Amino acid sequence: MRYFIDENLLGVAKALASVRDDVCHPGHPELPEVPTGTLDERWLPTIGTGGRDLILITRDNHIRTRPAERMAFHEHGIRAFFITGKKELNAWQKLDLLVRQWEKIERAVAKNGTGPWAMSLTRGGSPKDIPLTPPEAATTVR
């Protein structure tokens, strides 16, 4: 396994896992430690460098903003692609985006190496870096 697709893309994940042997998701038979419904802060260590060292694909931007999840992101060297965009995509559009971008995803993984790092995926372009502020360096603006 090389890629972990978050539960928020479960239909897309199952479709990709049916044709690719390097894709898994919550509830996947080869990933029993992450059943469906597992909270993000619990599966992040499992997919990170201390666990299976998988590359995350998600639509969940909260991972970058919630303190516990952001801490886990950094502590476990998570490498991630976030599907972003101004319009919400349906499942078919998300699957289409990933299939069309897969070679670019592979090149970005090879280029970026170990984590933590994050990139955005959009329908119109190549993956782009997302700056990651370590939790201890974050400041609160009032």
Report the b/e string of 68-98 with b at 16+ CB within 10 A.
ebbebbbbbebbbbbbeeeeebeeeebbebb
Does residue 35 belong to any structural domain of this protein?
yes
Does residue 96 belong to any structural domain of this protein?
yes
- Total domains in the fold of the chain: 1
Does residue 13 belong to any structural domain of this protein?
yes
What string of pLDDT tens digits covers the 142 residues of the chain? 899 999 999 999 999 999 999 999 999 999 999 999 999 888 999 999 878 999 999 997 766 677 777 888 889 999 999 998 888 899 999 999 999 999 999 999 999 999 899 999 988 778 998 887 766 654 444 3
Does residue 142 belong to any structural domain of this protein?
no
Does residue 80 belong to any structural domain of this protein?
yes
pTM: 0.89
Does residue 102 belong to any structural domain of this protein?
yes
Domain of 67, in residue numbers: 3-137
